[in-house]
Structure 1
Amino acid sequence: MYACSGNANPEATTEEVVQQAEVIVDVTASQFKDLIASEGTVLDVRTPGEWEEGVIANAEKMNYQADDFSSQVEKLDKTKPVFVYCKRGGRSAGAAQVLKEKGFTKVYNLDGGITAWMDEGNEVVK
């Protein structure tokens, strides 16, 4: 399993984050919030039980631990950014790697997951 990467640069502006050349970019909760306001897909890769606790508004739900996760992501637009998160950042880092291997061009991983998102006072919907 993947561990939290902890590579998000909290000092980077949203513009600096967007301009990074890497396919996978770890971002802080505040950067994630700014980024998801743009066009792209917000992807929650937690389990169905975790989704019941609340999700980020408009998130697609695809369980990273499901046997068909790799085929599920094929229905997403590879040319648009994907903003991926889990509970703390480990599963989303693994999911981001799968997306990269599938040819997605830009993946933003929420460092600290939905836990960091809520710790900063951001809303979730049920």
Structure 2
Amino acid sequence: MSIFSFLFKEQNLPDEINILDRDKYKEAISKAKVQLVDVRTKREFMSGHIKGAKNIDFFQGPVFESAFSKLKKDVPVYIYCQSGNRSQKAAKKLVSLGFTKVYDLKGGYMGWCY
């Protein structure tokens, strides 16, 4: 790891979490069927979302954890929110729940525009 990647790693994220720019994210989710989750509110989700995404609202606490307990922890999960802040918090929560590969969309849905 270079000194720059060490110094500028986004908010000291665990190794299980990777932040992808929109092009790499799009490429990754288009290759195969993936666990794609929008962690915004239902209202945000209904106003527009990435095709194929499942909505699991981060703010729903126990419902959030319960919904993720139905996903495979050893299969990569791709998450996003509106701007990237909430999904980073969600990613950390997923790692604490045992998920081993979490990919987050840098800048969130606001920067998606596909």
Alignment TM class, shorter chain as reference: 0.7 to 0.9
Please point out which of 26, 33, 36 is paired with 2:19.
26
Q: Which has the higher helix share?
A: 2
Aligned-partner Cα distance in 1 for 2:9–2:66: 28
TM-score (ref. length: structure 1): 0.75
Alpha-carbon distance change, 100 to 116 in structure 1, aligned in 2, over 3 angstroms? same
How far off its partner does 1:22 sit? Answer: 2.2
SS at match of 1:112: coil
* 1:16 aligned partner: none
* 1:65 aligned partner: 59
How far off its partner does 1:60 sit? Answer: 1.0
Aligned-partner Cα distance in 2 for 1:6–1:90: 14
Aligned-partner Cα distance in 2 for 1:71–1:97: 16
Aligned-partner Cα distance in 1 for 2:87–2:64: 12
Q: Percent identity?
A: 35
RMSD: 1.9
Question: What do residues 60-118 of structure 1 show as CA deviations (whole Å, max 9, x unaligned)?
Answer: 11000013212221111111110100000011001111111111110001010011112
SS at match of 1:26: strand
> Could you tell me whether the CA contact under 8 Å between 1:43 and 1:61 is conserved in 2?
yes
Which consecutive residues of structure 2, in runs of 5 or more, have no partner in the other structure? 1-7
1:106 aligns with 2:107: no
Which consecutive residues of structure 1, in runs of 5 or more, have no partner in the other structure? 8-20
How far off its partner does 1:40 sit? Answer: 2.3
* 2:92 aligned partner: 97
> Could you tell me whether the CA contact under 8 Å between 1:39 and 1:81 is conserved in 2?
no
How far off its partner does 1:6 sit? Answer: 7.9
TM-score (ref. length: structure 2): 0.82
